[in-house]
Chains A and B, each alone.
Chain A
Amino acid sequence: MNLEKVIFGFFILLAATLNFGFFVGDIDDPAHHDIYELFAAIVVSLIATVLKFGDRTQIGAVHLATSLVADLQLIAAAMVWGYAVHISGDGLTAKATASVVSLSGGALLANVVSVVILIAETIMQRR
């Protein structure tokens, strides 16, 4: 057992599950999407990204790429949320909620890819 692998797998899976938790529910109902969950998803996703820094393997590079995509989408979602609540003045409308959730949906896809790669890597390893 490799502690590094455990920690990395933990963060990747946690990022995906948190993301999923935020994503489920009606797409335009703010009550179904908790902002703290989005925050947690962003933090965990960022940590998962940094954990992949400096990995020279091909799979490591793909991991880093998918993580970056997830970060980008989640941060975009957070920015849309911030804009809707604090700057536009309309508060969290159905439209704004829908775009926040759909962006997090994109991030979810990237996270799913990450998890698939992780599983593939684990299965490929014969030891």
Chain B
Amino acid sequence: MTPLPRHHSIFFLIMRRMRAPLILLIVIMSISVLGLTLAPGVDADGNPHKLSFFHALYFISYTATTIGFGEIPYAFSDQQRLWVLVCIYMSVIGWAYTLGTVFALLADRNLQQAFAMQRFVRSVRHLREPFYLVCGYGETGGLICDALDRMGHRAVVVEIDEAKVGDIELHTYAADLPAIAADARNPEILKFAGLTHRHCIGVIALTNDDNANLAIAIAARLLAPKIPALCRAASRDIAANMASFGTRHIINPFEKFSEYLGLALHAPAAWHLLTWLTGLPDTMVKRHRDPPRGNWIVCGHGRFGRMMTEAMDAQAVPVTIIDRQPPADPDHRWVQGDGTGANALNEAGIRQAAGLVACTGSDVDNLSVAVTARELNPDLFVIVRQNLFVNRALFDAFDADIAVVPSEIIAHECLAILGTPLLAPFLEEIRRRDEAWCARLLERLTGRFGWSVPVVWSERINLSRAPALYRRLMRGDTVTIGQLLRSPANRDEALECETLYLRRDDDDHLVMPTLDCALKPGDELLLVGRAGARNELGLMLAYEHTLNYVLTGRDLPGGWVWERFANRREKLATRRLP
């Protein structure tokens, strides 16, 4: 690892480069001044007169800087003019050389990098709000930064490719995104990017190099053990290595998707619920048809293909593999070919197959396989792997049942983990429940909120997040979920959200708590609903007045004077009671 340019070295770099031109300027100025004091001249009366150093320096100063006033204190003699002529050309050479050096210095890559690094370090050091450290600004990193920005979180980006760092500056983010073109494997860089900053709340390693992600995970574990690290890992060995280091969240897009597919084959309702809850905000989830059971064909037996076959094996679905090389496990039927032509597909039994997975590393091949297969068997359930996010227009045009976009899967997962920590245990819970329960829940929730992706968030009832409710509960009042989830505009209307999961401090948890469940201080709720409901609930939890109206139906008086009045009236009223 190369040591980083420190701030003081910039100053030294400039000083060292400016040495020659400065010396040249001093020499030129001194020769000019000296010559001018020696050149013979005459005063107004014709007496011999030489310029003093003071006058000479004055004259040379304005001549050399091209201001040019005239001849002082008396008109020059021809000898003096001859010398001044020499001086003018010398000074021009001196300035030209100095300016040339200055511009060359400013255009110097090393210096610019040093300046960029210094600017970056300063802007990170001055961050005074929680931020995430995102390493790698590829497709996934871009999606994450977008979403973080929309959620109102700050991010700091380390990306090795300078062009992508330039992209960030062109991108219109609401908040400034400090970014640097540097290698995130260097722990020094990570430190400069705020890994040990006290406001850093998470590290997200999304570079396309597994080893770099591993290096980031290790650096995060050792330098900032308290900060959660989310890392992408495409290979299992690296993932295991990360896990051994105590990395909190390891995301392997292919494994994630094969897990989803296993779930989809085995429990479609749970799968629908899961995709609905974890979709990207502001998108519509199409109600997919359920993946059929029957013969499946997997085209391409790379990392993704292997995991898909494993997922299907686990669900006892028969699989035929199409690949150029024979698969490592001899248990499956194997057809040699690349699947883009009809021959290999026919040989694999496309007409009798129920589903097809096109998962080679090339988007064009995958689309070609999918189109050919659809033509041969229109009822086929098609899953295509989309390697590059930029090809989405092509994949949208081809109506696949599912398009797997690794960058999107990682982004969803990261956002779910970051935004709503309670979502992961709830999703675990879904997987454990039976199909009928999931189907009922799905019907109810989508019936109420529609098929567009809802807002899923968590609220913790503590003094900082929910001061009003917390104080009320600490006073001994009983508040149930049903009482709380009402619209602050009209308390007869229910708030457009529902509680999915409740976690108590004493490790107790409730899945889908009922409306008459009483809240306790310190509870953490997972809610799902509309974006407006989230704001309204936040308002209720924070403001005594709104909360009081929602719970009791009475408006509290606002100012100090009105509070006094209200107190007196209440006292009078209680006195008048029999």
Q: Mark A31-69, 1 if CB is under 8 A from B, else 0.
A: 000011001000100110011011010000000000000
Q: Mark B8-52, 1 if CB is under 8 A from A, else 0.
A: 000011011111001100110010011001000000000000001
Q: Which of A53, A82, A86 contacts B19 (CB 8 A)?
A: A53
Known interface pairs A35-B53, A39-B53, A82-B54; A54-B13 also in contact (CB < 8 Å): yes
Interface residues of B in 455-508 (CB under 8 A from A): none
Chain B residues near A56 (CB-CB < 8 A): 12
Known interface pairs A51-B19, A54-B15, A54-B16; A43-B26 also in contact (CB < 8 Å): yes
Q: Mark A16-38, 1 if CB is under 8 A from B, else 0.
A: 00000000000000000001100
* Distance of A53 Cα from B21 Cα, bound (Å): 12
Does A116 touch B at the CB level, under 8 Å? no
Chain A residues near B30 (CB-CB < 8 A): 39, 43
Known interface pairs A50-B26, A53-B18, A54-B12; A39-B34 also in contact (CB < 8 Å): yes
* Distance of A82 Cα from B10 Cα, bound (Å): 38
Does A12 touch B at the CB level, under 8 Å? no
* Distance of A54 Cα from B21 Cα, bound (Å): 14
Q: Which residue of B lies closest to A87 (CB)?
A: B54
Does A78 touch B at the CB level, under 8 Å? yes
Q: Which residue of B lies closest to A42 (CB)?
A: B30
User: Contact: B13 with A53, CB < 8 Å?
Assistant: no
Closest Cβ–Cβ distance, residue B347 to chain A (whole Å): 72
User: Contact: A51 with B23, CB < 8 Å?
Assistant: yes
How many A residues touch the partner, as a band?
A: 10 to 19
Closest Cβ–Cβ distance, residue B16 to chain A (whole Å): 3
> What is the interface of chain A mostly: helix, strand, loop, or mixed?
helix
User: Contact: B33 with A86, CB < 8 Å?
Assistant: no
Which one of B16, B54, B55 has the highest number of Cβ atoms from chain A below 10 Å of its Cβ?
B54
Known interface pairs A51-B19, A53-B16, A54-B13; A78-B26 also in contact (CB < 8 Å): no
Does A85 touch B at the CB level, under 8 Å? yes
Chain B residues near A54 (CB-CB < 8 A): 12-13, 15-17, 19
User: Contact: A50 with B19, CB < 8 Å?
Assistant: yes
Interface residues of B in 383-439 (CB under 8 A from A): none
* Distance of A85 Cα from B51 Cα, bound (Å): 12
Chain A residues near B12 (CB-CB < 8 A): 54, 56
* Distance of A46 Cα from B12 Cα, bound (Å): 18
Chain A residues near B55 (CB-CB < 8 A): 86
* Distance of A81 Cα from B23 Cα, bound (Å): 25
* Distance of A50 Cα from B17 Cα, bound (Å): 11
* Distance of A85 Cα from B73 Cα, bound (Å): 14
Chain B residues near A36 (CB-CB < 8 A): 34, 37
Q: Mark B358-390, 1 if CB is under 8 A from A, else 0.
A: 000000000000000000000000000000000
Chain B residues near A78 (CB-CB < 8 A): 53
Q: Which residue of B lies closest to A43 (CB)?
A: B30
Known interface pairs A51-B19, A54-B13; A86-B52 also in contact (CB < 8 Å): yes
* Distance of A46 Cα from B23 Cα, bound (Å): 8
Closest Cβ–Cβ distance, residue B297 to chain A (whole Å): 67
* Distance of A51 Cα from B17 Cα, bound (Å): 11
Closest Cβ–Cβ distance, residue B108 to chain A (whole Å): 14
Chain A residues near B17 (CB-CB < 8 A): 54
Query: Chain B residues in contact with chain A, CB under 8 A?
Result: 12-13, 15-19, 22-23, 26-27, 30, 33-34, 37, 52-55
The 5 closest A-B CB pairs, nearest first, are: A54-B16, A53-B15, A43-B30, A54-B15, A82-B54
Query: Chain A residues in contact with chain B, CB under 8 A?
Result: 35-36, 39, 43, 46-47, 50-51, 53-54, 56, 78, 81-82, 85-86
- 9 CB-based A-B contacts, threshold 8 Å: A35-B53, A43-B27, A47-B27, A53-B15, A53-B16, A53-B18, A53-B22, A78-B53, A86-B55
